[in-house]
């Protein structure tokens, strides 16, 4: 199956130039049942990437534009009355899919966020008195715009913690942007071929779980997480004032899953410290609650994580 990963990336590259880190993150989330939060300015092909990925994997894809007037029933569905039949029926919402793109998720109010929490955590939806399981695989890919904050809501910490990764989507290189503009100016149609099906994805998930990780590296991951909670115990007194709350236990769980998937995508059968370094910021940056001192000093979560990486010795 590992050869299929390169084929999937080749299909995505027909529509998406660059953004390899985002593509890898989406594949890791899919293969480990982890949700992904994408942050970047508009026009960086976030929606196109997700749509292309769904075609390459032969998965159902739906997109919801989050707005301040959005209701929970708009995404999960509702009980409606059928006048002809004279009975109530359940109308499923767009949440019943494989890949759900929650566009500008931070524009929705608290009630919508709480409805989304259940499906992200439990992979089930409650409509009226009935509970419905969401078909596997299921992945929430949420986007938020870091620039335009008018009419936007801060995501609750409990919901942020449900996301395995927070990926910062940056601009393409000059050469990549030249290729993007040149490609957009032509009318060529690139057909996306389906490389995997749902059965293949389940096989990949099983292979990812079988990727080996040494006990020393597992303990190293736990040390990295604990250093965000008790930095003084790891000789990191200088960052203690910048962290109000460290990463949750869910961060440790997600790290164990993510590094295996990262190693798998890189073509390895075992986890290395490189896989940990490649995943740690994506897993932790949205889980650290920074203090006022950090914000006043323009200290970012990524800078704190880098300090921890430099201090704690790799086994």
Residue 204 lies in a domain: no
Residue 206 lies in a domain: no
Q: Which residues pair with 143 in a beta bridge?
A: 38
Residue 220 lies in a domain: yes
CATH value at residue 281: 1.10.8.80
Residue 71 lies in a domain: yes
Q: Which residue has the higher pLDDT, 200 or 111?
A: 200
Residue 49 lies in a domain: yes
Residue 205 lies in a domain: no
pLDDT above 70 as % of the chain: 96
- Note whether 274 and 302 are same-domain residues: yes
- Note whether 176 and 37 are same-domain residues: yes
Specify whether the CB–CB gap between 282 and 165 falls below 8 A: yes
- When pLDDT is averaged across residues 255-265 and rounded to a whole number, the result is 95
- Note whether 128 and 27 are same-domain residues: yes
Range of the domain at 274: 211-311
Helix (H) or strand (E) holding 130: strand 130-133
Q: What is the CA 103 to chain-centroid distance, rounded?
A: 13
- What's this model's pTM, rounded to 2 decimal places? 0.88
Q: What is the pLDDT of residues 266-286, one digit of tens each?
A: 999 999 999 999 999 999 999
Q: What is the pLDDT of residue 87?
A: 79
Q: What is the pLDDT of residue 1?
A: 62
Q: Are strands 35-39 and 139-144 parallel, antiparallel or unpaired?
A: parallel
pLDDT above 90 as % of the chain: 41
Q: What is the pLDDT of residue 169?
A: 85
Q: How many domains, in total, are found in the chain?
A: 2
Q: What is the pLDDT of residue 147?
A: 61
Residue 238 lies in a domain: yes
Q: What is the CA 52 to chain-centroid distance, rounded?
A: 16
Q: What is the pLDDT of residues 163-200, one digit of tens each?
A: 999 998 878 788 888 887 877 767 566 788 888 888 88
Q: What is the pLDDT of residues 197-238, one digit of tens each?
A: 888 898 999 999 999 999 999 999 999 999 999 999 999 999
Of 171, 199, 227, at which residue does a domain stop?
199
- Note whether 168 and 244 are same-domain residues: no
Of 169, 199, 229, at which residue does a domain stop?
199
Residue that is written with structure tokens 């335009």 in the block: 148
- Note whether 239 and 92 are same-domain residues: no
Q: How far apart (Å, rounded) are the C-alpha atoms in residues 4 and 135?
A: 23
- Note whether 181 and 218 are same-domain residues: no
> Quick check: 125 pLDDT over 90?
no
- Note whether 183 and 219 are same-domain residues: no
* DSSP per-residue string spanning 207-233: HHHT-B--HHHHHHHHHHHHHHH-GGG
- Note whether 101 and 247 are same-domain residues: no
CATH value at residue 88: 3.40.50.300
**Phi, then psi, of 80 in degrees rounded to 5:** -120, 155
Most confident of 14-18, 51-55, 109-113: 51-55
> Quick check: 19 pLDDT over 90?
no
- When pLDDT is averaged across residues 111-122 and rounded to a whole number, the result is 81
Of 138, 170, 199, at which residue does a domain stop?
199
């Amino acid at each position: 199956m590992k050869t299929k990963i390169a084929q999937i990336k080749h299909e995505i590259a027909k529509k998406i130039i660059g953004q390899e880190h985002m593509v890898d993150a989406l594949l890791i989330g899919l293969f480990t049942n982890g949700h992904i939060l994408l942050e970047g300015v508009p026009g960086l092909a976030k929606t196109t990437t997700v749509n292309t990925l769904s075609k390459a994997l032969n998965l159902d894809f739906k997109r919801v534009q989050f707005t301040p007037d959005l209701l929970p029933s708009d995404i999960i569905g509702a009980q409606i009355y059928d006048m002809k039949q004279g009975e109530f029926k359940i109308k499923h919402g767009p949440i019943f899919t494989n890949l759900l793109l929650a566009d500008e998720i931070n524009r929705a109010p608290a009630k919508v966020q709480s409805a989304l929490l259940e499906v992200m955590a439990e992979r089930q939806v409650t409509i009226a008195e009935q509970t419905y399981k969401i078909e596997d695989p299921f992945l929430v890919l949420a986007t938020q715009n870091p620039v335009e904050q008018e009419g936007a809501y801060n995501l609750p910490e409990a919901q942020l913690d449900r996301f395995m990764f927070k990926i910062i989507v940056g601009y393409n290189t000059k050469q990549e942007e030249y290729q993007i503009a040149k490609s957009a100016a032509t009318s060529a149609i690139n057909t996306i071929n389906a490389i995997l099906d749902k059965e293949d994805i389940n096989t990949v998930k099983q292979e990812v779980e079988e990727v080996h990780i040494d006990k020393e590296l597992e303990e190293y991951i736990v040390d990295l997480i604990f250093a965000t909670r008790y930095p003084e115990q790891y000789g990191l007194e200088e960052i203690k004032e910048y962290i109000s709350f460290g990463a949750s236990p869910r961060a440790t769980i997600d790290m164990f899953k993510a590094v295996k998937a990262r190693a798998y995508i890189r073509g390895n059968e075992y986890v290395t410290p490189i896989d940990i370094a490649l995943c740690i910021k994506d897993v932790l940056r949205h889980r650290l609650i920074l203090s006022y001192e950090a914000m006043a000093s323009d200290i970012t979560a990524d800078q704190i994580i880098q300090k921890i990486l430099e201090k704690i010795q790799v086994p």
